[in-house]
Every structure is written in structure tokens, then in C-alpha cells.
Amino acid sequence: MTSLKRNHHYVPQFWQRYFANQAGQLYARREGDMAKVASPKTLMSGDWIYTVFDTDWLASDTVEDALSQAEGAAAAACRSLISSSAPNATTQSALIKFVALQACRHPDMLGLAHRRGKELGAVIAEVHSMSESEFVNALAPYGVEATSASGMFAVLKSVPQAQLDAELEELNVLSPHDPQLPQTDSLLAQSDVERQLVTMDLIVLDAPPPMQFVLGDTPVPQGDLRLGFVVPITKSIALNFQPAQRSGAPSCTRRAASRSEVDACNR
């Protein structure tokens, strides 16, 4: 694996640099430590996070390279946001894609996707103990539509329990990088998150001097995004997504943040 990219950032370096001071220095505080000068090269990253393998277990940077391209588009959108009074439709769309991707690419979410896949397998293995309606309801939390679940039920009922148990046992020992259940499948949810975000009002918040936004290692909440959230983009700008206040097209506005809004975002 020496030819592969080893260090993968789950919070892009270009994003981190927007929180540097006028001298270009970035200060980071780890749990229990005082804030110290740090480099984005080593912050909010890990080894082989987005490395993928094919069925022959040959490793690839395909996903990491695709993320790098997405970061290029996101960086351009952030520059446009900084230089304009309000984002135009193109910039707004790019920012939404960026936030949606960030919601899916965090290691916590990658691990959750892998675990949920195994949980789904456990539900499927219990098909013989359920009625069709029970099976449909059990699969609904995993995003399986009723029609698809009913079709699965009919097929799975013909599979012997011993075979289902054996397949579940095999599923449970798969590693997060196994091509049969790769943790990077979490990234496939980006389009679903985008569909939610485009229905929400977007408010660009400007921090009132001398207050500043700070960037944490989990900049996008990991649940209930539809209820509203704030994500810092630079030390002076944040995006506030809120449920739409009126019917029709959601709004996009820009205003100064209150001190309480900055404090809440930073907490």
C-alpha cells in the first residue's frame, strides 16, 4: 500500500485554513490541551479512511481522488461566498453539496453505515419468524421501501434458515474495508442529504467583530439535520440551515449573527 495516499482528511485542509489568523497560523485544541499552533496536514485526518478494495482485494485511491475533486468545487464556492454579499444559485447549490458530503464522510458516519448494514442482515435472517407486514415494517428504518421489502420477503421465505444463519455469520465478520460491505457506502447517502437541505431556508451568518466562529472535528451534526443546524465555513461566516418558514421555494438570506448564535455554534 506504499503507492497509495495514506493520510486522508475528513475535514478538508482548505476548510481548516479559513480559520487561521492573519499570520496564517492555525491554532488547535485537543481534549484536555491548551490551544497550540498546528498544521492542517495532520489535523482531522486518519490513515486509509477512504481506501477501497475490489473483489480481488486490490486497493485503490478512487474514492479519495473523487473527494479531492469535490473539495475543489467546494473551495471555489467558499471563495465566492466570501467575496459576495449573498450566494447566487450556483454557489448555493455547491455549498449544499459540500455540506451534504461532509455529513456523510465523517469516520463516525462511515462506521455507522457499516454497522447498519450488519443490523439489516440480522433483520433479514429473522424473516421466517415474521409476517410480511412485520418484515416490511422492520426494514422501513433502513430505507427499504414497502414494495421492495415485500418482494424480498417472498424470495427469502424460500431460503432455509440454516443458510440465512450462515450468511449472517459471514456478514458479521466482514471488515469495514471489505468490498462486500465497504464503510464508504456511507457516501452514497449524499444525494439523500442534499434533497433534504434544498428544502430548507439558508441563512448566511456573519460573526460580529471581534467574535469568531471556530471549527470542530465534527462540523456537521450527525443526526436530525432537518430540524436545523449551523455549520461554520470561515472564522467570520457560517451557514444556518433551518426548516422553511413558508411554502414554495426556500429562502436564502444573509445577516449579522447574534452573539448568542456565535456562542451556540462554537459550543
Average pLDDT, the chain: 95
Per-residue pLDDT reduced to its tens digit, 218-259: 999 999 999 999 999 999 999 999 999 888 789 999 999 999
Contacts of 2 (CB under 8 A, 6+ apart): none
At 110, the amino acid letter reads L
**What digits encode the pLDDT tens for the residues 30-88?**
877 788 999 999 899 999 999 999 999 999 999 999 999 999 999 999 999 999 888 89
Residue pair 256/212 in contact by the 8 Å Cβ criterion = no
Q: Is 99 exposed, middle or buried (0-12, 13-18, 19+ CB in 10 A)?
A: buried
CA distance 38 to 247: 46
**Which residues, in sequence order, are bridge partners of residue 205?**
238, 255
3-state helix, strand, coil in the chain (%, to 5): 45, 15, 40
pTM: 0.90
Q: Which residues, other chains included, contact 256 with Cβ-Cβ below 8 Å and sequence gap of 6+?
A: 205, 206, 208
